[in-house]
């Protein structure tokens, strides 16, 4: 396992499975619809009819699948599995949609997660004569089960999953076993409903609530045999084990949000998993791996030109600081809406990097078109496989964060920072600047999911601070060095969801104007880690204090002296200074979230803003 904990690969796709004396195809599809918030680029269903496996798939939302199914929707079936996808491997299309089948067409698999060793397994299975239809990592599971199958599906799944590295929650059906679903889990969530006369599994409890409130949460390594009204759970050695039955008291809307009040807070709380998903397979044996960038030689590049908007632009600024600090490579960063109308001096020796969570932002798209015309190669970092920006880029890196429903970017910002830090490390390595310091950064990156969990567990403290400050009309966010992009992002988060006027400033610039604004009604949010600019930042905070401004400081744990200066302190763990923007991210997001919620605003849907800005 790559990470110290068994983190879940959250919210990448949704799976359901149902088994009963008689259930309609429509029931399985309705159950699947409850998971559509987990992914919606394509969907599919497999069921057994008269001893034959039937599979229907469709690109797009689940209503497209319903159209494809037509009269089949009214069909009475005994067993069915279905999937709604958020692509990680292979573009969203009918072929890459789940369920995936083996060569015989008897076995169907739905999968949520990422199989890290799928390339090796695929080559191995091809060498044994298996024929692959899709580009997905999932298809290897169907062929592996086929390889292991000798009449007992449970045993075949047990053997097959022992070969998988990475994360999975799977549901498997076999045409010869219309009375069972086999499910397995490692690192991705899977819940089994306990109900009379019906067996039901799903990625979360939402689809189960119509049928039962009693559920079993599978644990890592568990393999389950689900028959109608009967569930058996086995450990990875095949020994039957007991799992606790939980009673769920959420309604459906709360269940969709994992029991949280808003998607935004749910998505912030998912960040440890977001980090795992973003970094999976990238740090191995002291090396930094970006197989997508195999054709890029960073040692030859003259400069990198980064284009992005909003939160993605702040992630880009972090990248500039990182790469320029550690290497001799210049990084230009510009908001896309400016870049696209300028006359930038870039050419074939400049690599252009487009950062866009949605992959659809019009200004960023136009910027890469301009950069391309000027001869630059285009790399994009996005969260949406098959999005326009990925299609128009030469190379793409996926964030694998799953859908982000809250309009204000949170977990995707964290994924961007993580990928950019690792890409920065790769550039350090490729250009020959690697030192002990970089090994330390890489080691700490691996610990980030754990560190994030610690920070997130302090959320009530941040809520208490938000209560004291929600009534202010203004906020000044300040930072220096790596703290500056964080200050900009903190101010953006606060203004976009709480409508409080907030400015993000490099702390050293205060004296050139904005300090005139400060008084007891204009608090300052200081990004104040114990880094090499700490003393400078401290002086700036003192200047603010001298104007009677209240100070909310985010400082490194163990910093006691700051208690004399700051009115409120939020501590983050000590990390190498180059990655403080990562550990600061949940703090500024939680603060903005709580302020907006306390003001009675809906942080998921801020006024005048859209999640994907496809117009100028």
Interacting residues toward ligand G6P by CB under 6 A: 309-312, 356-358, 361, 364, 407-409, 609, 611-613
Q: How far is the CB of 268 from ligand G6P (least distance, A)?
A: 13
Q: How far is the CB of 485 from ligand G6P (least distance, A)?
A: 13
Q: Nearest 5 degrees, angle CA 138-CA 141-CA 144?
A: 150
Q: Enter the tokens of residue 529.
A: 């880690």
CA pair distance 456, 587, nearest whole angstrom: 8
According to DSSP H, which parts of 243-401 are helical? 252-256, 263-269, 271-279, 310-326, 336-339, 362-373, 388-392
Q: Enter the tokens of residue 84.
A: 């709604």
Nearer to ligand G6P by Cβ, of 112 and 312: the residue is 312
**Nearest residue (beta carbon) to ligand G6P:** 310
Nearer to ligand G6P by Cβ, of 408 and 537: the residue is 408
Active-site hit among 61, 210, 213, 611: 611
CA pair distance 389, 362, nearest whole angstrom: 9
Residue 210 exposed, middle or buried by CB count within 10 Å (0-12, 13-18, 19+): middle
Tokens 């319903």: give the residue.
Answer: 66
Nearer to ligand G6P by Cβ, of 209 and 370: the residue is 370
CA pair distance 459, 463, nearest whole angstrom: 6
Nearer to ligand G6P by Cβ, of 274 and 356: the residue is 356
Q: How far is the CB of 528 from ligand G6P (least distance, A)?
A: 25
Q: How far is the CB of 316 from ligand G6P (least distance, A)?
A: 10
Q: How far is the CB of 267 from ligand G6P (least distance, A)?
A: 12
Phi, psi of 183 (to 5 degrees): -125, 155
Percent of the chain as helix, strand, coil, to the nearest 5: 40, 25, 35
Nearer to ligand G6P by Cβ, of 320 and 429: the residue is 320
Nearer to ligand G6P by Cβ, of 203 and 277: the residue is 277
CA pair distance 505, 476, nearest whole angstrom: 7
Say whether 103 is catalytic: no
CA pair distance 67, 311, nearest whole angstrom: 37
* Exposure letters 251-265 (e unless 16+ CB within 10 A, then b): eeebbbbbeeebbbb
Q: How far is the CB of 443 from ligand G6P (least distance, A)?
A: 29
Say whether 300 is catalytic: no
Beta strands 14-24 and 198-202, pairing class: antiparallel
Facing residues of 173 across strands?
108
Q: Enter the tokens of residue 478.
A: 């300040």
Q: How far is the CB of 288 from ligand G6P (least distance, A)?
A: 24
Q: Enter the tokens of residue 495.
A: 């203004």
Q: How far is the CB of 358 from ligand G6P (least distance, A)?
A: 3
**Which residues, 6 or more positions from 483, have their beta carbon under 8 angstroms from its beta carbon?**
507, 527, 528, 529, 531, 533, 537, 580, 581, 584
E runs forming strands in 175-249: 181-186, 191-195, 198-202, 214-217, 223-227, 230-234, 240-241, 246-247
Instruction: Count the Cβ atoms, other than its own, within 10 Å of residue 394.
Output: 16
Nearer to ligand G6P by Cβ, of 69 and 613: the residue is 613
Nearer to ligand G6P by Cβ, of 398 and 407: the residue is 407
Note the Cα 260 to chain centre separation in Å: 17
Phi, psi of 343 (to 5 degrees): -115, 75
Q: How far is the CB of 95 from ligand G6P (least distance, A)?
A: 27
Nearer to ligand G6P by Cβ, of 106 and 358: the residue is 358
CA pair distance 256, 80, nearest whole angstrom: 22
Beta strands 42-49 and 107-115, pairing class: unpaired
Active site residues: 13, 611
């Amino acid at each position: 396992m790559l990470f110290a904990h068994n983190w879940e690969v959250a919210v990448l796709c949704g799976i359901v499975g149902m088994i009963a004396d008689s259930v309609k195809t429509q029931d399985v599809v309705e159950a699947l619809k409850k998971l559509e918030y987990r992914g919606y680029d394509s969907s599919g269903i497999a069921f057994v009819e008269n001893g034959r496996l039937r599979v229907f798939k469709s690109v797009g939302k689940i209503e497209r699948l319903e159209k494809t199914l037509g009269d089949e929707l009214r069909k009475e079936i005994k067993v069915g599995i279905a999937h709604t996808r958020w692509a990680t491997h292979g573009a969203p299309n009918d072929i890459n949609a789940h369920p995936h089948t083996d060569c015989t067409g008897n076995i169907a698999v739905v999968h949520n997660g990422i199989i890290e060793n799928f390339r090796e397994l695929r080559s191995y299975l091809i060498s044994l004569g298996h024929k692959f239809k899709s580009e997905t990592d999932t298809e290897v599971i169907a062929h592996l089960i086929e390889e292991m199958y000798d009449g007992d599906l449970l045993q075949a799944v047990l053997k097959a999953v022992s070969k998988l590295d990475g994360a999975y929650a799977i549901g498997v059906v076999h045409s010869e076993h219309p009375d069972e679903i086999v499910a397995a889990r490692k690192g991705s969530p899977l819940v089994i409903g306990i109900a009379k006369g019906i067996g039901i599994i799903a990625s979360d409890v939402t689809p189960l609530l119509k049928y039962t409130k009693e559920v079993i949460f599978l644990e890592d390594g568990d393999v389950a045999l689900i028959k109608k009204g009967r569930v058996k759970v086995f450990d990875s050695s095949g020994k039957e084990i007991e799992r606790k039955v939980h009673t769920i008291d959420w309604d459906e809307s709360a269940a969709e949000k994992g029991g949280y009040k808003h998607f935004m807070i749910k998505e912030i709380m998912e960040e440890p998993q977001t980090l795992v998903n973003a970094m999976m397979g990238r740090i191995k044996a002291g090396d930094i791996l970006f197989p997508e960038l195999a054709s890029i030689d960073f040692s030859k590049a003259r400069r990198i030109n980064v284009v992005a908007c909003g939160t993605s632009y702040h992630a880009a600024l972090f990248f500039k600081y990182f790469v320029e600090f550690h290497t001799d490579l210049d990084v230009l960063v510009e908001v896309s809406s400016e870049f696209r109308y300028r006359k930038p001096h870039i050419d074939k020796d400049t690599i252009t990097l487009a950062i866009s969570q949605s992959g659809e932002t019009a200004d960023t798209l136009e910027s890469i078109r301009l950069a391309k015309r000027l001869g630059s190669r285009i790399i994009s970092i996005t969260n949406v496989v098959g999005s326009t920006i990925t299609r128009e880029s030469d190379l793409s890196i996926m964030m694998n964060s799953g859908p982000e429903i809250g309009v204000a970017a949170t977990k995707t910002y964290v994924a961007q920072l993580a990928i950019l830090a690792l890409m920065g490390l790769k550039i350090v390595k490729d250009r020959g600047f690697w030192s002990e310091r970089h090994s330390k950064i890489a080691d700490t990156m691996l610990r980030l999911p754990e560190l994030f969990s610690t920070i997130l567990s302090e959320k009530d403290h941040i809520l208490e601070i938000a209560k004291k400050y929600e009534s202010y009309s203004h906020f000044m966010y300040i930072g220096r060095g790596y703290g500056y992009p964080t200050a900009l992002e903190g101010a953006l988060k606060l203004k976009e969801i709480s409508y409080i006027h907030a400015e993000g400033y490099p702390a050293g610039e205060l004296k050139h104007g904005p300090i005139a604004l400060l008084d007891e009604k204009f608090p300052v949010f200081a990004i104040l880690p114990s880094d090499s600019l700490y003393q400078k930042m401290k002086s700036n905070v003192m200047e603010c204090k001298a104007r009677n401004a209240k100070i909310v400081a985010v400082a490194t744990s163990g910093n006691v002296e700051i208690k004399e200066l700051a009115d409120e302190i939020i501590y983050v763990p000590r990390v190498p200074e180059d990655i403080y923007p990562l550990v600061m991210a949940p703090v500024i997001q939680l603060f903005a979230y709580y302020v907006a919620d306390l003001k009675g605003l809906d942080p998921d849907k801020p006024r005048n803003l859209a999640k994907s800005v496809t117009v100028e």
